[in-house]
Amino acid sequence: MAPIAIAFGVLELTGSASSAAIVIAAPTTAQIFLVLMGGTLADRTSRQKLMVGADVLAMAAQFCIALLFLAGEATVPVLALLMLIMGSAMAMHVPAATGFIPQLVKRGELQAANSLLALARNSSITLGAALAGMLVAFLGAGITLLIDAITFGVSALLIATIKPRAQEQIQEASFFADIKSGWREFTRHTWLWVIVVQFSLVVAAIEAIWALLGPAIAIEQLGGAVSWGFVSASMGIGTVLGGLIAMRLQVRRPMYFATLLVFFFSLLAITLSIPAEVWIICVAAFIGGVTGQIFGVLWYTTLQKEIPGHLLSRVSAYDHLGSIALAPLGIVVGGFLFEWLGGRSTLIIAALTIIIPTVFALMVPAVRNLKSDQPDQPSE
């Protein structure tokens, strides 16, 4: 629920796409600066405890944001600060979670496990998106965010009850030496860093579309938060179907297949730029959800199979860092371009920012040739 509530709450508060972009970009900015620390802490300490602590921190920050909206005291600087705290919690949680999954299931069950997690996650995204559109329209952003804050507390309790296998211990070294060893492993795999570079641009465009440009177009031409809630819910339904497909999907060259799917991510920006009827935009979002979820399952499964367990959280931190590195810039630039060039031109630029890097990624042999039936030795 949070992305929709924050986007519409800040747009209503400021009336400015560029001001809203600053708040929306804040959590990703925090992740950029802290995710390497999060990945290293996850490998050095307890991934489970780090995830619980991150959820408690996120709950506290989200409660404060909700109370500010409810009290009518929300301002852009204070919201941006609290969103930085939210981003800090995410920087601790994401790499820990990626490394935590192999502690719960066997290697041969990773793809099925990632698919099940995706189904659970995206079923709640679907429900949350549809519910948020209604709640924001009728009750306001504050109530919506208050409900969302409670879910972080529930998450912390659930994670605390899991009984994983013992975490593989890393050799004693300095904190910075551990960061450096993660970098060596990350750069050793050509397919890995090429796709991460590709996604630094793709994610920048997607974040701008979903966090800012889409809601702005919805307000101007599609009828507001309810219509955008349906679009978001369509994406969520697509991710559920994508998770079901990915559970049994057998792909000989997973990164080649997954990268081809990225072209479909541009459909939402293209339909919004027309702008098409709401149902057509929903179909585009649905297709993006299906293909995006299949990509995600194949990506995380490949990462968990190819990277040694004691390095996994650190390498996933570099993955996360590279993927989101340009996301705040994408949101902020998207806000200024929206006001300068208009929605249509900005959305076309966003679509090209997805398509062009994907073409270049497919030209790299390591991306095309990585095979899923390789032996357990990590690939180059």
144-160 pLDDT per residue, tens: 899 989 999 999 999 99
What is the domain partition of the chain in residue ranges? Answer: 2-162+174-369
> Which of these ranges, 185-189, 265-269, 337-341, has the smallest mean pLDDT?
337-341
pLDDT above 50 (res 374): no
How many residues does this entry show for the chain?
Answer: 380
Q: What's residue 377's pLDDT? A: 44
Q: What's residue 358's pLDDT? A: 97
14 pLDDT band, cuts 50/70/90, is confident
- What's the rounded mean pLDDT across residues 17-29? 77
- What's the rounded mean pLDDT across residues 81-94? 93
pLDDT tens across 37-83, in order?
Answer: 998 898 888 899 999 999 999 999 999 999 998 888 888 889 989 99
Q: Report which listed range, 124-128, 204-208, 320-324, is most confident.
A: 204-208
- What's the rounded mean pLDDT across residues 212-219? 86
pLDDT above 80 (res 279): yes
375 pLDDT band, cuts 50/70/90, is very low
223 pLDDT band, cuts 50/70/90, is confident
Residue type, 52: V
pLDDT above 90 (res 281): yes
pLDDT above 60 (res 236): yes
The CATH architecture of the domain made up of 2-162+174-369 is Up-down Bundle (1.20)
pTM of this structure: 0.76
Q: Give backbone dihedrals phi and psi of 169, rounded to 5 degrees, phi first.
A: -85, 140
Percent of the chain with pLDDT over 70: 96
Q: What's residue 176's pLDDT? A: 82
17 pLDDT band, cuts 50/70/90, is low
- What's the rounded mean pLDDT across residues 176-181? 85
| Average pLDDT taken over every residue of the chain | 87
- What's the rounded mean pLDDT across residues 270-282? 90
Q: Do 269 and 284 contact (CB within 8 A), yes or no?
A: no
376 pLDDT band, cuts 50/70/90, is very low
Q: Report which listed range, 61-65, 162-166, 206-210, 343-347, is most confident.
A: 61-65
> Which of these ranges, 31-45, 187-201, 224-238, 268-282, has the smallest mean pLDDT?
224-238
Residue 345, CA atoms < 13 Å, CB-side half-sphere: 9
Q: How many CB atoms are closer than 10 A to CB 138?
A: 11
- What's the rounded mean pLDDT across residues 22-26? 80
More confident residue, 355 or 274: 355
